[in-house]
Amino acid sequence: MNVGHHIEILRREFPILHQKIRGNELVYLDNAATSQKPEAVTASILEYYNQYNSNVHRGAHFLANMATARMEESREVVRSFVVAQSIEEIIFTQGTTDGINLVAYAWGNEHLKEGDEILIATSEHHANIVPWQELCKKTKSILKVIPLQADGSWQENFTEFVGDKTKLVAVGWVSNATGVVHPIREIIKAARKVGAKILIDAAQAVCHFPINVQELDCDWLVFSGHKVFGPTGIGVLYGKKATLESMHVYRTGGEMIDRVSFSGTTFNQLPFKFEAGTPHIEGIIALAEALRWLTNIGWDLIQEIEQSQKVWMQDVINSFHELHWIGMAKERVALFSFVHPTIHAGDIGTLLDQQGIAIRTGHHCTQPLWESMQLPGSARASLSLYNTEQEIMVFKKALAKSLKMLS
């Protein structure tokens, strides 16, 4: 079976893709913002509400026990997906942003002091910048930033930014603005040499390649369910057990306690210590369904599809000499950011939308990156497993038409 055939089969599982927008077949190329959901995922949410909706960990009855069992099975699915050592290392969050804030608060406030350094890169999403800026204000730590090269990759001497004062390296694996894959293994090695902690923002990596946190040897890894075929409002914080144990609590209240009395409170064990209140139960169950769905496709096929999509997009890139394609580093995912010298990206996005094509325009929550490139932002087409060669050709034609109209 050729790649195109595999894509067609996968597409059938996404009802949302089979509709017309303004009279045109929908071409959804905004997958870096959020992916669409296969029927297996939406069905798992319906099944939860129609068959065993109940609160968890308070198992006085059949449904509560069933919901708890399904939620904890889901934790095991996530553990296996990221190859963590134990389920105690898997904490459910609201998403990538929430996971990073948890670490900044629960680890950063306790472990950083004046003059300590946190290292990030210019390519970071705001979610991996602002929590550290706030932490630096509180602890008088210093935020250091790896600069970028013209092709969107980190400056070649990036490991030299890691030094004796570095206490944390927090970096994005794949840039949501440029699609560039960053050399996180090398920076982790450099961070380990000086005893710094390491956080990996895998929001854009999680649907592109397999994750093995033990092999990576990071302290934390965060991602969002909605970018990997799961629902919004649910995410994962993987943390090394010893590191999590050294952290103070974050949100407080029900579920995360061991015993509460007016003379003092003791906290629950991992991972519940970091999960205050009623969790996003159906989100957790549906996220596990999404990860099962992805795993069942198999990483070889996933990567074969993406490789073909990159080749198909190459034809589009080559045909528009007037466009400046950003982040064309060798290591990249199927995400394509571009600017026109005179036409505003927002206008391109509007005209494409009128032709049924969904892309993203603007700064993509990476304002410092655009500042460093002296650009206001870009138009971004980001692909997923269900995008066909024909859709890419439709995009090419519609883009040509839009640029002609706007010139």
Ligand X SMILES: Cc1ncc(COP(=O)(O)O)c(C=O)c1O
Residues forming contacts to ligand X in the complex (CB under 6 A) are 95-97, 125, 127-128, 172, 176, 201, 203-204, 224, 365
**Which residues have C-beta within 8 Å of that of residue 303, sequence separation ≥ 6?**
209
User: Among residues 100 and 316, whose Cβ is nearest to ligand X?
Assistant: 100
Smallest distance, Å, CB 366 to ligand X?
A: 8
136, 207, 218, 365: the active-site residue? 365
Q: Beta strand 166-172 with 220-224: parallel, antiparallel or unpaired?
A: unpaired
Residue 98 C-beta: closest distance to ligand X, Å: 6
Q: Is the dihedral of CA 135, 183, 386, 210 positive or negative?
A: negative
Based on CB atoms, which residue is closest to ligand X, 75 or 208?
208
The residue among 26 and 365 lying less far from ligand X, judged by its C-beta, is 365
Helix, coil or strand: residue 382: strand
> Looking at beta carbons only, is 141 or 204 nearer to ligand X?
204
The residues near 289 (Cβ < 8 Å, ≥ 6 apart) are 40, 41, 44, 230
Cβ-proximal residues to 6 (8 Å cutoff; 6+ apart), any chain: 301, 304, 305
Q: What is the nearest approach in angstroms of ligand X to the Cβ of residue 66?
A: 29
3-class secondary structure per residue, 174-210 = ECCCCCEECCHHHHHHHHHHCCCEEEEECCCCCCCCC
Looking at the Cβ atoms of 67 and 202, the one nearer to ligand X is 202
> Residue 240's closest CA among 267, 222, 215, 213?
213
Smallest distance from the beta carbon of 95 to ligand X, in angstroms? 3
Closest CA to 225 of 363, 118, 77, 361: 77
Closest contact distance (angstroms) between CB of 212 and ligand X is 19
**Beta carbons within 10 angstroms of residue 86's beta carbon:** 11
- The CA distance from 179 to 109, in Å, is 32
Least distance between ligand X and beta carbon 273 (Å)? 21
Q: Is 389 exposed, middle or buried (0-12, 13-18, 19+ CB in 10 A)?
A: middle
In whole angstroms, give the CA distance from residue 74 to residue 284: 7
> Measured from the CB atom, is 38 or 172 closer to ligand X?
172
Closest CA to 63 of 74, 55, 73, 52: 52
DSSP string, 62-87: HHHHHHHHHHHHHHHHHHHHHT-S-G
365 is annotated as an active-site residue: yes
Residues classed as catalytic: 365
